[in-house]
Structure 1
């Protein structure tokens, strides 16, 4: 396995059991196995045991809390031969919960269900992703993405009729017009743009004070990754990019992206930001970025740990990009 595959949410070699998804009898048999377990979510937050190290909770399928979960079967796959299913407890309303913070960039809140031990809590995945093992992170990302897709695609996009869940959660079919719908993934480029010894960094409105990250943007229809890198960088900062290389990818279930990490060589230096897209951008010398990663920079915070931006920058500083 390449070093690039060790990015958060990737690299655990999880068995997705795709060969049994369309076999209802095989899925039912998997669900009845004594070692089958549930990965439980509430409003996009996975259930974890937040001690150090944190763990993604795996509940027996006969646990009482699952009685309040959505009824559709979502098969994630097999973990060391044991089936894993995703369940959503979205209709539960925790007492005193601040619903306004859900899905926010920074959500430090945790919710505890009365039917579960106090050692278990629902927590924002972006906050805890770097606490989890590679397997736990991949399971959580997969479950979050597929549950989020079902929540947003309950109706046929062709005729508007309610659609039915099929293939153990990996397909929705419209009974009215017969159209099949599959989980979508949106391609996004995220760019390590360098010029000499400096890297191009930007920040979006609403980020924590002082936080900067690599530029990123969605790939448009009919566009290559290389073209998307050049277009996005120029649109946001006015910087022109020459050679572009692929580095690494990361599933990013917020809600359903695949981040393509790319390296690009800038052929111009002047920055002219688009204030609609970003709040600020600047060239950061390698020495200052090392300060930021060490927590010693007076004004700048590094990209969020666990995100591919942090991974790319960390390996750029260590000269271990492959």
Structure 2
């Protein structure tokens, strides 16, 4: 960040305690820490935990996990429930945070969740989603977009679910 988001003045580097040098606005007298977006992604499982719902977005050929941006004033868990309802019409009955990764291409911190849907019947898709398909774990790995953050998240989730299938417990939302 080179300019202040509030006043537009050019930022200068200034020592900020243990943070080291941080962009500072002389006009606003405020440190301007890096700004980035935050989003959730989720692998949606059926209640039996043996199928994963993957989405094909409009005008795309690859399958991916459901994802969406966290809006101002919203926490990640509310975003998860809202995005699943908006994009595929399903209700989430439980979820568990898995991991986070920074996605440089869109300057986004991705918060990944494993979630359980109330049904395998997808009531409706919004305009962003072309198709939603339930896959077995093996087929999901074959169909998800190659070399993507979604594939990294999916692989970790499948490993976890496969190792702990009987003992896997999710906190209620």
TM-score by length of 2: 0.77
Show the counterpart of 2:147: 305
For residues 257 and 175 of structure 1, the distance between their equivalents in structure 2, rounded to whole angstroms, comes to 28
Written as runs of structure 1 = structure 2, the 5 A alignment for 1:144-223 is 150=1, 154-167=2-15, 171-195=22-46, 196=48, 197-207=50-60, 209=61, 211-223=62-74
- Asked if residue 274 in structure 1 is aligned to residue 142 in structure 2, the reply is no
- Asked if residue 246 in structure 1 is aligned to residue 97 in structure 2, the reply is yes
1:254 is paired with a residue whose SS is: helix
Q: Aligned pair count?
A: 157
Change (3 A) 1:189 1:320: farther
Q: Deviations over 1:249-296 (max 9, x none)?
A: 112122322111111110133321111x23322222334325x1xxxx
Structure number with the bigger relative contact order (C-alpha 8 A, sep ≥ 6) is 2
2:87 is paired with a residue whose SS is: helix
Written as runs of structure 1 = structure 2, the 5 A alignment for 1:40-59 is none
For residues 229 and 261 of structure 1, the distance between their equivalents in structure 2, rounded to whole angstroms, comes to 10
Q: Deviations over 1:165-210 (max 9, x none)?
A: 3459952222223232101232211101100321111122343x3x
For residues 105 and 163 of structure 2, the distance between their equivalents in structure 1, rounded to whole angstroms, comes to 27
Q: Residue 158 of structure 1 contacts residue 179 of structure 1 at CA under 8 Å; is this kept in 2?
A: no
Change (3 A) 1:177 1:287: closer
For residues 88 and 101 of structure 2, the distance between their equivalents in structure 1, rounded to whole angstroms, comes to 24
CA displacement at 1:233 relative to structure 2: 0.7
TM-score by length of 1: 0.44
Query: Which consecutive unaligned segments of at least 5 residues does structure 1 have?
Result: 1-149, 293-300
Determine which structure has more spread, i.e. the larger CA radius of gyration: 1
Q: Which has the higher strand share?
A: 2
For residues 280 and 157 of structure 1, the distance between their equivalents in structure 2, rounded to whole angstroms, comes to 39
2:106 is paired with a residue whose SS is: coil
Instruction: Give the superposed CA RMSD.
Output: 2.5
